[in-house]
Amino acid sequence: MGDTIITISDVLEYLFCPRFIYFMHCLAIPQNEGSRFKVQKGREVHEEKRITNTEYLRKKLGVVRKEMNVFIASKTHHVKGIVDEILFLDDGTAAPFEYKYAEFKDTIFQTYKFQLVLHAMMIKENYNLDVKKGFICFTRSNNQIEEVDFTEKDFKKGIEIIDEILEIIDKGFYPGKSRYKNKCIDCCYSNICT
Ligand code: SF4
């Protein structure tokens, strides 16, 4: 494996459509400003961050300490990114905590879930602690906090995702189309994507 380090934003792009990685990294074609899909991790929630009640976190989630806006990278897994918060829990484990400027609609999207899974992998490696779950705070649903439990399968899938992204970037592999045709309708790459 080479020296390429991908970002969490790359992962979100990939999960939307693997071809985004090819067009952006192999052909160096940026996304249009006005494209429907925007990875704005953290940007728009900036103003609304840190409004969760610390006392609530301590009591309900068993948080003994937390670190905020943590830049984190994994040499093993070739990925880097910023975690909104890392919670250290009273059972000796740690957990990533992400804010989403979104409403909670009874489901956790795969993009949200695997962002957390990759954060968990990086926390494990850097802090040498077990990570069994993560949390998402939906700021447009009155800061509702949803817990996401991780399985071994999730961690395996996380590694697969990274490997596939590296294969596209490092080897120029042209991936298949998105499985979800409705994503293609107003995709900024639709005119060059065959
Ligand atoms: S047109 Fe469809 S398959 Fe092609 S990059 Fe866009 S979303 Fe992916």
Average pLDDT over residues 176-192: 85
Between these two residues, 6 and 49, which has the higher pLDDT value? 6
Model pLDDT, residue 51: 54
State yes or no: pLDDT of 110 exceeds 70: yes
Any atom of ligand 1 within 6 Å of the Cβ of 17? yes
Residues 81 and 120: beta-carbon distance below 8 Å:
no
Name the band, by pLDDT with cuts 50, 70 and 90, for residue 45. very low
What atom of ligand 1 comes closest to residue 17's alpha carbon?
8
Amino acid sitting at position 131: V
* Closest listed residue to residue 112, CA positions, set 5, 8, 6, 24: 8
Residue 71 CA, ligand 1 centroid: distance in Å: 30
31 CB under 6 A from ligand 1? Answer: no
For 133, residues 6+ apart whose C-beta sits below 8 A from its C-beta are 93, 95, 147, 148, 149, 150
Which residue in 12, 19, 66, 87 sits closest to 42, CA to CA? Answer: 12
pLDDT of residue 6: 95
Our measurement of the distance from residue 70's CA atom to the centroid of its chain's CA atoms, rounded to an integer in Å, reads: 14
Mutate to test the pocket of ligand 1, among 17, 21, 39, 191 (most ligand atoms within 8 A of CB): 17
List 7's β-bridge partners, or say none.
Answer: 80
Domains and CATH numbers, the chain: 6-185 (3.90.320.10)
Q: pTM for the full model? A: 0.86
Rounded Cα distance, 139 and 29, in Å: 33
Looking at per-residue pLDDT, the higher value among 73 and 109 belongs to 73
